[in-house]
Amino acid sequence: MELTMEHTDRIIEMAWEDRTPFDAIYMQFHLKEQEVIQLMRRELQRSSFNLWRKRVQGRKTKHSKLRSFDKGRFKCSRQKQITHNNISKR
């Protein structure tokens, strides 16, 4: 899959989100965790990449198997609906 600039931006955004597991990135973009790490290393400044890696390492919410809950994900009632990376209008 060829990644567009929009896809790359979305992957970076999802990687920074605490509650978005690597499995979700894989389901949407077919990138494994190691490929996401390589993309982040390539696209971010060194200091930003180091900050991200420190933040992500050992974080249970980034790995579905380590999560303590199994009933879907939390979603705020004010959060917009997101379908296939497009935010639908209310």
> What is this structure's pTM?
0.67
Determine which of 19-28, 37-46, 73-82 has the lowest per-residue pLDDT on average: 73-82
* Cα 35 to Cα 82: distance, rounded to the nearest angstrom: 24
Question: In sequence order, which residues have a C-beta less than 8 Å from that of residue 20 and are 6 or more positions away?
Answer: 14, 62
Task: Report the C-alpha gap between 49 and 40 in whole angstroms.
Answer: 6
Q: Which tokens sit at 62?
A: 């980034």
Q: Averaged over 62-73, what is the pLDDT? A: 56
What pLDDT, on the 0 to 100 scale, is given for residue 66? 54
